[in-house]
Amino acid sequence: MEEHPWRDIDRKWQQFWEEHGTFRAVDRSDRKKFYALMMFPYPSGSALHMGHVRNYVIGDVLTRLRKMQGHNVLHPMGWDAFGLPAENAAIKAGVHPADWTRKNIATMKRQLQELGISYDWSREISTCDPSYYKWTQWIFLKMYERGLAYRKKSFVNWCPSCQTTIANEEVHEGTCWRCHSVVVRRDLEQWFLKITQYADRLLDDLTLLDKWPERVRTMQENWIGRSEGARVVFRERDSGAEMPVFTTRPDTLFGVTFMVIAPEHPMVGELVKGRPEEREVLAYVEKALTLSEIERTGADREKTGVPTGRFAVNPVNGDAVPLFVADYVVAEYGSGIVMGVPAHDDRDFAFARKQGLPVKVVIQPGATRLDGATMEAAFLEDGVQANSGAFDGLPNRDGKKAITAHLEKKGWGGPLVTYRLRDWGISRQRYWGAPIPMVTCAACGHVPVPEADLPVLLPRDVDYSPGAISPLEKSKEFVEVACPKCGGPARRETDTMGTFMDSSWYFYRYTSPREEKAVFNRETAGYWMPVDQYIGGIEHAVMHLLYARFFHKFFQDLGLVDTPEPFTALFTQGLVLKGGEMMSKSTGNIVSADGLVAKYGCDVPRAYVLFIAPPDKEVEWQDAGIEGIARWLHRVGGLVDGWAPMDLPPSDMDVRKYPFVNGEVVDPRHPHAKEVVRMTHATVQKVTMDTSASFHFNTAISSLMEFTNVLAGYSARREALPVVRSYQSGDSTPDPEHDPRVMSFALKRLILLVAPFAPHLAEEWWKRSGEKPSVFDASWPTFDPAAAAEDVVEIPVQVNGKHRATIRAARGASEDALKTLVLGDEKMKAQMAGKTVRRWVIVPDRLVNVVVG
RNA sequence: GCGCGGGUGGUGGAAUGGCAGACACGCUAGGCUCAGGACCUAGUGGGCGCAAGCUCGUGGGAGUUCAAAUCUCCCCCCGCGCACCA
């Protein structure tokens, strides 16, 4: 395909910006800082599609806008370069993951540069670079030092396709978030980070994030899942073993008719050992363990379970109730043991009916009396305590407090807060990641690698095919090491860290990307952080965004940062769909950027993707509308060329009030010139509002189109009428309808307003208009709201709420004046003939409604 | 099941209590042109009408209001998230 001539303009200015360091951020400046951050991509090497373009262009618009508004902007880019796709591609194509990744980074960088995105490339970072992951390892060591990194054997999520364990946050509806395979459970020893220790802070500080979408905050809140309740210690009847439970309903404690323990619970084996129930229980446990997350969870699923033959004693009333093993109890939540109160819990009710267990009502509603034998559903609402010993008659909300207090007093339990959030499993049994900097010594146990020995380099020559053991395990040179503590023979940890470790702190590294002595430079980080505007996909609502907040709070505890939160404002952009599906390389349904860029130049597809819909909304791609943007930009180009060079007057001349003097119209003969000036102010106002106060880029572009149409109309007059451009010829009383000062004023502002959306063209037009590049060093235009307002307004007139006429009135006309105008209007005379006016509703400058009877 | 977001012309969308459909695509007619998928002008929600105009109209139904796409209630549909967490 032949290239559009504008491609030369694209390249010319891309080169100019690079050579002049136009978008290079300065670490110290008198100007206000603005940190604009895009979630950095995984360098997959696929061609950029319009979905990508949309993401990166949002940040680009913001960067250019803020720069023009006088900010010192940091807009960096880097690569989330560790991870499975590299390894899988490498295995498939026989290329080393490092080489594959490096090549993809080069490709993607070139594509981003060809799009003219305003990154400060001098700060580029890559998480697979040893100079970066050295510090990821350092963070791990600091966490270990503070007891936040620990090893634990437990049932973890295993993705059979990725051949590794994954974190809870990476399991979406029972499947792996990356490959969508059904996740299974495996009993493994793994490294965990104690994110739960930060649960309250992560929850409480969500209230500080008022510039985040409510949706994301809610998702995090639900994920953390704080719930207040009580701990109640039951005892096994025969052995006296403690069986603590967590409940949010201590008020129903007297209604316990059975107990349930999770199949994975460590006590299970002990409880049934040598008993007649042993065989059946162990068979049940085994079966439960083979079930995937997806098979096991789901509220609709029928409750199964088997009796253990054991009994638990309720501390408050001495009742001994049967203990069951059932897979609806989650081992990792609470104590893994649940008290069964069928009368007041849906799940317990279903289980009790299935097992033929008694239902004991302990909360009675006011009017009717429930009967446990006949009730058809659990009673979940508030009521009055019954069958609850000394607590009978209390409203259950008070009962809750009273019973909890009673438990505490007796030493049988007390108040307890529990979280749904679990600790973060970070071990991955794969090659392409940062090695966990730990050593295991037969004598000393787990020993951290000394800071001075970092980074623990990922060896290059390793058989990285996945299998039963971690790839690094196969590298003798890597594994065998002297114990840092005793010097004896020891083994390195062979699991690598999940890539969310890498991405939890990259935004800090941008603030001092070449810092060698520390994880980041405190001073520059203090200047740039927190991120002023973070932009990325909603899919990270509870993965990356939660982890990054956790790391930030950890940095706060290390005294490295002062602020509580890393991202002041968050914007989640919508997907660009094709055929109702997300654009993706694997399914081949993509609209690649290259073709459109070659056909139109890069500003046209860039502006189009902003024009097509508000940026937070999902949008179905369609080629059709792009012509409209191309036409518009060509029209602007035509206007600029038609009036360039606009050397009179100088751009800084205050023509704001022209053609007004003291706010009055000097010469009523030139309504068009006046309208152009008014429209200029109005457009500056509209575009400023739509881009600075919100992300309404689509309506900003619309108003720029309208402005262009008005200017084209004004410009056409010059051609249509036989007039000399008198001002230029030295005439001191220029014909206001053809005054080049008016066009100069309007067009230069149009170019400035267009600049964030069509940066290459705007830069070219700025120069042609006689100004000095870069247009991004020029100031964003200001406006005067008074000059933007029309002085004659059209006011719709309604009769009983229906639009019947329109009157023209001076802006700010009084209610009486409007009344007079309405009564004098021919249409309204006809409408009101023979009717009685019951009421006037007058909204000055907006509307008149005459209520008649 | 629970939570959130959404449903407006042939299409993308605009309007968040005050003229529904800005802006753009597409389409129709005319102009210009050797020609054009280029450019210019006009028109373009449905129905009735030569027209002026009338009337209906923002998923469906009810309500509040002088006035509702917008607020309230009920229902339907689509998308996303969470889902046995005691």
Asked if residues A785 and A684 have their Cβ atoms less than 8 Å apart, the reply is no
Q: Average pLDDT of A670-689? A: 85
The least confident of A8-22, A34-48, A462-476 is: A462-476
Q: From residues 193-252 of A, which are strand B contacts by CB within 7 A?
A: 214-215, 218-219, 222-223, 225, 227, 229, 246-249
Res A695: pLDDT:
92
Q: Tell whether the model's pLDDT for residue A635 goes beyond 50.
A: yes
Distance A758 CA to B46 C1' (A): 39
Res A662: pLDDT:
34
Give the type of residue at A589. Answer: N
Tell me the two tokens of residue A508. 């800090």
Distance A795 CA to B64 C1' (A): 26
Nearest Cα to Cα of residue A326 among A344, A301, A361: A301
Whether the bond into A732 is cis, omega within 30 of 0: no
Q: Tell whether the model's pLDDT for residue A670 goes beyond 70.
A: no
User: Which nucleotide comes closest to A228 if you measure CA to C1'?
Assistant: B86
Burial level of A46, CB count in 10 A (0-12/13-18/19+)?
middle
pLDDT digit string (tens) for A494-507?
A: 999 999 999 999 99
User: Which nucleotide comes closest to A838 if you measure CA to C1'?
Assistant: B66
User: Which nucleotide comes closest to A422 if you measure CA to C1'?
Assistant: B85
Please give the Cα distance from A66 to A55 (Å, whole number): 17
Specify which residue's alpha carbon is closest to the C1' of nucleotide B84.
A299
The answer to whether some atom of strand B lies closer than 7 Å to the beta carbon of A542 is: yes
Res A646: pLDDT:
75
Nearest Cα to Cα of residue A327 among A219, A185, A459: A185
Q: From residues 483-522 of A, which are strand B contacts by CB within 7 A?
A: none
**pLDDT-based confidence at A28, cuts 50/70/90?**
confident
Nucleotides of B under 7 A from a protein CB: 1, 3-5, 11-15, 18-20, 22-26, 38-41, 53-55, 66-68, 79-86
Res A648: pLDDT:
53
User: Which nucleotide comes closest to A831 if you measure CA to C1'?
Assistant: B53
Distance A799 CA to B68 C1' (A): 16
Distance A628 CA to B10 C1' (A): 17
Nearest Cα to Cα of residue A357 among A289, A283, A432, A307: A307
Q: Average pLDDT of A563-567? A: 95
Query: Around Cβ A398, how many Cβ atoms within 10 Å?
Result: 14
Phi, psi of A784 (to 5 degrees): -115, 110
The secondary structure element, H or E, covering residue A838 is strand A837-843
CB-side exposure of A522: number of CA atoms within 13 Å?
A: 9
Please give the Cα distance from A606 to A610 (Å, whole number): 7
Asked if residues A637 and A751 have their Cβ atoms less than 8 Å apart, the reply is no
Q: Average pLDDT of A814-840? A: 86
The answer to whether some atom of strand B lies closer than 7 Å to the beta carbon of A89 is: no
The answer to whether some atom of strand B lies closer than 7 Å to the beta carbon of A334 is: yes
Please give the Cα distance from A130 to A142 (Å, whole number): 18
User: Which nucleotide comes closest to A630 if you measure CA to C1'?
Assistant: B24
Res A728: pLDDT:
39
Distance A231 CA to B85 C1' (A): 15
Per DSSP, helices labelled H in A94-187 are: 97-114, 130-145
What percentage of residues in chain A have a pLDDT greater than 70? 93
Q: Average pLDDT of A247-270? A: 94
User: Which nucleotide comes closest to A708 if you measure CA to C1'?
Assistant: B23
Tell me the two tokens of residue A452. 């001075």
Q: Average pLDDT of A99-107? A: 94
Asked if residues A755 and A64 have their Cβ atoms less than 8 Å apart, the reply is yes
Q: Average pLDDT of A777-784? A: 91
Res A647: pLDDT:
62
pLDDT digit string (tens) for A403-420?
A: 999 999 999 999 999 999
Asked if residues A236 and A310 have their Cβ atoms less than 8 Å apart, the reply is yes
State the distance between the two ends of chain A, measured CA to CA, in whole angstroms. Answer: 69
- Alpha carbon A136 to chain centroid distance? 23
**pLDDT-based confidence at A105, cuts 50/70/90?**
very high
Residue A664 vs residue A792, higher pLDDT? A792
Whether the bond into A530 is cis, omega within 30 of 0: yes
Specify which residue's alpha carbon is closest to the C1' of nucleotide B53.
A804
Spatial CB neighbours of A254, under 8 Å, sequence gap ≥ 6: A314, A316, A317, A360, A362, A385, A387, A388, A389, A391
Specify which residue's alpha carbon is closest to the C1' of nucleotide B15.
A699
Asked if residues A717 and A672 have their Cβ atoms less than 8 Å apart, the reply is yes
Residue A347 Ramachandran class (φ > 0 left, ψ -120 to 50 alpha, else beta): alpha
Max mean pLDDT range (A321-325, A676-680, A714-718): A321-325
The answer to whether some atom of strand B lies closer than 7 Å to the beta carbon of A349 is: no
3-state secondary structure A469-496: CCHHHHCHHHHEEECCCCCCEEEECCCE
**pLDDT-based confidence at A742, cuts 50/70/90?**
confident
pLDDT digit string (tens) for A279-296?
A: 999 999 998 888 877 777
Res A738: pLDDT:
60
Max mean pLDDT range (A150-164, A601-615, A738-752): A601-615
Phi, psi of A822 (to 5 degrees): -65, -45
The answer to whether some atom of strand B lies closer than 7 Å to the beta carbon of A617 is: yes
Res A251: pLDDT:
95
Whether the bond into A358 is cis, omega within 30 of 0: no
The answer to whether some atom of strand B lies closer than 7 Å to the beta carbon of A800 is: yes
Give buried/exposed letters for A104-136 (b at 16+ CB in 10 A, else e).
Answer: bbebbbebbebbbbbbbbebbbbbbeeebbbbb
A340: helix, strand or coil? strand
Q: Tell whether the model's pLDDT for residue A125 goes beyond 80.
A: yes
Res A91: pLDDT:
84
Distance A746 CA to B58 C1' (A): 37
Asked if residues A257 and A342 have their Cβ atoms less than 8 Å apart, the reply is yes
CB-side exposure of A378: number of CA atoms within 13 Å?
A: 18
Asked if residues A567 and A508 have their Cβ atoms less than 8 Å apart, the reply is no
Q: From residues 681-700 of A, which are strand B contacts by CB within 7 A?
A: 696, 698-699
Distance A634 CA to B33 C1' (A): 20
Q: Tell whether the model's pLDDT for residue A745 goes beyond 90.
A: no
Max mean pLDDT range (A68-72, A538-542, A846-850): A68-72
Q: Tell whether the model's pLDDT for residue A821 goes beyond 60.
A: yes
Res A445: pLDDT:
93
**pLDDT-based confidence at A725, cuts 50/70/90?**
very low
The arrangement of strands across the sheet holding A489-492 comes to A445-448, A438-441, A489-492, A480-482
The least confident of A322-326, A654-658, A841-845 is: A654-658
Asked if residues A96 and A460 have their Cβ atoms less than 8 Å apart, the reply is yes
Res A803: pLDDT:
86
Q: Average pLDDT of A499-528? A: 96
Under DSSP, the state recorded for A182 is: B
The answer to whether some atom of strand B lies closer than 7 Å to the beta carbon of A829 is: no
Nearest Cα to Cα of residue A607 among A629, A638, A578, A635: A629
Q: Tell whether the model's pLDDT for residue A655 goes beyond 90.
A: no
Distances (CA, A) of A505 to A98, A217, A362, A568: 22, 20, 51, 15
Distances (CA, A) of A573 to A53, A211, A270: 11, 14, 53
Spatial CB neighbours of A365, under 8 Å, sequence gap ≥ 6: A379, A381, A383
Distance A627 CA to B28 C1' (A): 19
The answer to whether some atom of strand B lies closer than 7 Å to the beta carbon of A544 is: no
When the pLDDT of each residue in chain A is averaged and rounded to a whole number, the result is 89
Distance A35 CA to B78 C1' (A): 37
User: Which nucleotide comes closest to A625 if you measure CA to C1'?
Assistant: B25
The least confident of A301-315, A424-438, A792-806 is: A792-806
Asked if residues A125 and A78 have their Cβ atoms less than 8 Å apart, the reply is yes
Question: Is the pTM higher than 0.90?
Answer: yes
Res A721: pLDDT:
43
Q: Tell whether the model's pLDDT for residue A340 goes beyond 50.
A: yes
